[in-house]
Amino acid sequence: MKKNEDNQLTRCGCLMNSKELDQVSEMITRNVGSVDRMARAIGGGGLAIVELTGNLGDIEQYFHYFAIATSIWLVATATSGKCPAYSLMKVSTCSAGPIEEE
């Protein structure tokens, strides 16, 4: 990060003031801990398997798209370690706090 004459921080050629840069940095840091990630992966994968094999019974016709969307969300957040909902609520389940990657 470099500061220019207007006291703005630059990263990748973008001009941002420090408040904007902090907001962006907060949004891209990991906020899902290892236990939470494991639970999301198992829950999302299990839900997808149950839905795709047709084991939900009569409720399946109403629950189909919601179940698929939920399982994709859970697996995606488990894989990336970043949850946008947690970022909005300023929650982190990481044991040592957010991990910043550079």
Q: What average pLDDT does range 58-65 have in this prediction?
A: 79
- Please determine, for residue 97, whether its predicted confidence score (pLDDT) is greater than 50: no
Contacts of 38 (CB under 8 A, 6+ apart): 78
Q: What is the pLDDT of residue 100?
A: 53
Residue 7 gets the label, from left (phi > 0), alpha (psi -120 to 50) or beta, of left
Q: Is the pLDDT of residue 67 over 80?
A: yes
Q: Give the model confidence (pLDDT) of 1-57 as tens digits.
A: 555 554 454 545 556 667 766 666 655 678 888 899 999 999 999 999 988 888 877
The reported pLDDT for the residue numbered 3 is 52
**0.75 exceeded by the pTM?**
no
